[in-house]
């Protein structure tokens, strides 16, 4: 198949929302790792945000359905667990969409710290997605889903989720 068809498939995949955060697409979340063809079958490779992600089955179904609606009859969705997904794979548009939805996007990038002596990390500066203030504090490492933490803004006093970098 041609590159044009593959590019079109990527655009169709960009219309599939993440089941847990519907304002962000699976493309903007960065979980779609590749699209290619094998013997007439469209193979879409995804890396879930974590290996036990409960949304994987639904994401697979959504991919097969979306491509089927566009006439792609043979679709295989493959899981790729290594390298592990990282918030670094999120697009800038996806980060903006999270903030607009009221979820603070990751405030840092993930780096390989192997071989580096662990030091106490400074507290994150997580901006409030409601008012933009940097005067926020961590309430709980656990938010509405495993990939989020709960913060509160010290200025507007609103609680909000923070999408943890990993």
CATH number for the domain that contains residue 57: 3.30.300.130
89-141 confidence digits (pLDDT tens)? 999 999 999 999 999 998 766 654 454 444 445 567 899 999 999 999 999 98
Q: Is residue 75 part of a domain?
A: yes
Please check whether residue 13 lies inside any domain of the structure.
yes
Token pair of 93, please? 């548009």
State the average pLDDT for the chain: 88
Question: What CA–CA distance (Å, rounded) separates 68 from 70?
Answer: 5
Q: How many C-beta neighbours within 10 Å does residue 133 have?
A: 14
Phi-psi label, residue 40: left if phi above 0, alpha if psi -120 to 50, beta otherwise: left
pLDDT of residue 116: 47
Residues 5 and 81 in one domain: yes
Residue 156 domain boundaries: 101-111+119-163
CA 161, CA 138: separation in Å to the nearest integer?
A: 10
In this structure, the answer to whether residues 44 and 68 fall within a common structural domain is yes
The confidence score (pLDDT) of residue 110 equals: 60
The answer to whether the pTM exceeds 0.75 is yes
Check: CB of residue 50 under 8 Å from CB of residue 59.
no
Same-domain status, 1 and 43: yes
Query: How many domains would you assign to the chain?
Result: 2
107: left (phi over 0), alpha (psi -120 to 50) or beta: alpha
Is pLDDT at 61 greater than 90 in this prediction? yes
In a shared domain, residues 79 and 20: yes
Q: Are residues 75 and 1 in the same domain?
A: yes
Q: Give a yes or no: residue 90 inside a domain.
A: no
Please report which residue ranges of the chain form alpha helices under DSSP H. Answer: 3-13, 26-29, 56-69, 92-101
Same domain, 78 and 106: no
Asked whether residue 31 falls in the same domain as residue 65, the answer is yes
Tokens of 88: 């670094």
Report the first-to-last Cα separation within the chain, whole angstroms.
35
- Would you say residue 93 lies in a domain? no
């Amino acid at each position: 198949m041609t590159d044009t068809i593959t590019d079109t498939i990527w655009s169709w995949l960009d219309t599939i929302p993440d089941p847990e955060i519907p304002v962000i697409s699976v493309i903007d979340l960065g979980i779609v790792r590749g699209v290619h063809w094998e013997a007439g079958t469209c193979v879409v490779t995804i890396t879930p945000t974590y290996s036990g992600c409960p949304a994987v089955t639904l994401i697979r179904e959504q991919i097969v359905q979306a491509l089927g609606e566009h006439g792609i009859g043979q679709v295989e969705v493959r899981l790729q667990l290594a390298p592990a997904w990282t918030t670094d794979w999120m697009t800038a548009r996806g980060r903006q969409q999270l903030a607009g939805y009221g979820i603070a996007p990751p405030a840092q990038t993930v780096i390989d710290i192997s071989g580096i002596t662990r030091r106490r990390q400074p507290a994150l500066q997580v901006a409030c997605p409601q008012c933009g203030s940097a005067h926020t504090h961590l309430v709980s490492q656990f938010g509405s889903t495993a990939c989020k933490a709960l913060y509160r803004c010290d200025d507007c006093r609103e609680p909000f989720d923070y999408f943890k970098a990993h």
